[in-house]
A and B are shown apart, each in its own frame.
Chain A
């Protein structure tokens, strides 16, 4: 294939709006996603604080919150319907509008073209469109707080009939429809973005960039995007069907003889489990869509601070493929006690636990990458250590939940909450911070403050681990999730102290994020000016100025080696960037 002709336009050429607002430049779009996602994260964190406020002090009143949120805190007490809306929106926002935006779409957009040596994504216009649709979906979601009945309150899993019948819970009035609309927009945008990433990896890699020379980051985005493309359409179908059930009188998910609020619902013969199958067919791959990029980003940050290649690159790539394939056929492990046939339960249990094999190999490869390292614990590396730790504890928790027999006791308890927060909450959160501290100099041309960043790590990891580790044991005690309070049950009385500790840790965690915000904003304006390659790293983005110009590379780079050429004897250093020819430094792969 002949490289296409490219005109690199001079900066400041098309005016502010074209360059920074309606830009087709993948770097600007990536930053737009990241900033939007961080703003949504603030909202998500505020909602988490409200949840912990309620669970930590279930019998206190908060008159000052009533002035702030008159609907949610009537006479100073959090209303149960508001609590459920907060839980639902916290989950939705964090999964789809924080981690998906910042880590998957944001860093995916920013890094993939740079990493494969392309000037832009394969379809730049589609890319811009995907961001604006994503932003619209976020705004639509926020809007749902202000409609009659409040935001959706059936959980992020939106199980019908609760989510289908307006009188079942206040959030199922208008809020649920808006939630579904927002999801449909999000899916449209995410599909465009995923399609773009796959096409970019397949079609615009620089000469010499064979698949097995790609950094793991690119591999993870590639696998995650394919999963997204395959798994999201069924959720679209399910969302359409649920909307029809809600507004057009069909009964896809509604069985006969339902009596809600003392009224017979006219629906007949539908199947609530059908929704669960369709939802989890998306839902399970979706967690890998979030998790894999976190692992890829962490793997690629590591060697810059260990000064040696990552361990077992090839094996890690194969593991990614295996995990991707397996993740499509294990959705039923979310439904062990749903009334699904016990025989399917055994099947899903066995297949689910197969995933531990590639994931263990991948995780231990990350750990083994520290073996023999000359370690520099700069802030991105600190967060990567946190990623490895949380991936270990989160993954091990999965052994309980993938096991149908153990899941009978643990299903829908706080064990599940602790587990998935470790994985798609913690691994992704810490990887996101690692990525921001690592690539901030490339994005904005300035370094972030190292002292604040290190303080941020300590004050994030410690409370985060405390919260979600303790929640596993709440689950073992039988504390169900999505409870507004644990006061009504005798057997849960002894969890009060634990919930108080968890809430205190949660407030510490949320407060610590201000260190990050201050650092981010301050560094944008006043940070030390960054060189082109401040971390002495090897991937292609470090060969261009910080920030890279529109079009990234002056001429399409030729790739001579893999992305992990560290610890090699080179004049004036110990590493070779991917473009360094073979006669200047030995080539490993």
Chain B
């Protein structure tokens, strides 16, 4: 043994542990958004509640995020059939669409600000900015994970098992955030 070896991180992580860790993490994220949601429902009954107009680009953003999830599924199907070029293309599209979603969200915030709707304008806008902001932060984290999955896809031909396990993690996280977005969007526009 020599000094260049990684220090006792010699205990390498197993696939099932990482999956377990991810699910527990998603559990805590769920509790976070559940708290925001219940606070929203409680605050909704306040006398000063006023719905602000939400920019229509949010529909586009939702479509982008959905398309991104589909692209990620396409990547998995391609990889499963060992069509690596298709898989790489699909995962890059998914990643790019993820970035597109973020850009779209920023645009939505800017449009609202331009229309004179800021965080303190109304409780509705406060919740909107806070919850979509919290969601965006998680999307950024998920994009990092997605990049890690993309690297695995590029090397997929050499290490299909690593690819498969990372892809499962990426899909879980990404679809989960898509779902959270749908619920948030429904909450802020319908209730």
Contact = CB atoms under 8 A, between A and B. Distances in A.
A and B touch in the complex (CB under 8 A): yes
Interface of A: 1, 4-10, 13-14, 18, 24-25, 119-120, 122-125, 191, 195, 198-199, 202-204, 229-234, 236-238, 240-241, 244, 248-252, 256, 268-271, 274, 277-278, 281, 550-551
A367 B94 CA distance: 60
B7 A250 contact: no
Contact of A237 (B17, B25, B35, B42): B35
7 contacts: A7-B8, A125-B9, A232-B28, A252-B43, A269-B47, A274-B39, A281-B35
Given A6-B11, A249-B119, A252-B43, 6 more contacts: A9-B10, A195-B25, A199-B17, A231-B31, A268-B47, A269-B43
A287 B63 CA distance: 44
A230 B119 CA distance: 28
B11 A198 contact: no
A123 B9 contact: no
B24 A249 contact: no
A541 B27 CA distance: 32
A553 to B, nearest CB: 12
Contact of A250 (B11, B16, B21, B126): B126
Given A24-B7, A234-B32, A269-B46, A252 B126 contact: yes
A384 to B, nearest CB: 32
B12 interface: yes
Contacts, number: 139
Contacts of B16: 1, 203
B186 interface: no
Given A199-B17, A230-B31, A270 B123 contact: yes
B130 interface: yes
Contacts of A232: 28, 31
A249 B119 CA distance: 8
A9 B10 CA distance: 9
B49 interface: yes
Nearest to A122: B17
A550 B11 CA distance: 11
A305 to B, nearest CB: 34
B85 to A, nearest CB: 33
B7 A14 contact: yes
A248 B119 CA distance: 7
Instruction: Give 8 nearest A-B pairs by CB, closest first.
Output: A269-B48, A249-B120, A234-B35, A269-B46, A233-B31, A237-B35, A233-B32, A7-B10
A249 B36 CA distance: 18
B134 A240 contact: yes
A125 B35 CA distance: 29
B147 interface: no
Contacts of B24: 195, 198-199, 229
A203 B31 contact: no
A238 B11 contact: no
Max chain A C-beta neighbours (<10 A), residue from B7, B34, B123: B7
Given A1-B16, A199-B20, A270-B123, A234 B130 contact: no
A249 B35 CA distance: 21
B14 interface: yes
A149 B25 CA distance: 37
B120 A24 contact: no
A525 B183 CA distance: 59
Interface string B50-75: 00000000000000000000000000
Contacts of B47: 256, 268-269
A300 B42 CA distance: 44
A238 B48 CA distance: 20
Given A233-B31, A251-B123, A6 B10 contact: yes
B20 A202 contact: yes
A234 to B, nearest CB: 4
Nearest to A19: B7
Report which residue of B8, B14, B134 has the largest number of chain A beta carbons within 10 angstroms of its beta carbon: B8
Contacts of A234: 31-32, 34-35
A488 B13 CA distance: 62
A250 B1 CA distance: 59
Contact of A1 (B5, B10, B14): B14
B49 A269 contact: yes
B115 interface: no
B31 A199 contact: no
B114 interface: no
A62 B13 CA distance: 58
A233 B28 contact: yes
Contacts of A202: 20
Contact of A25 (B8, B34, B36): B8
B39 A278 contact: yes
A181 to B, nearest CB: 16
Contact of A244 (B7, B8, B119): B119
B145 interface: no
A248 B28 contact: no
Given A199-B17, A251-B120, A229 B10 contact: no
A544 B130 CA distance: 51
B7 A248 contact: no
B190 interface: no
Given A7-B10, A199-B20, A236 B32 contact: yes
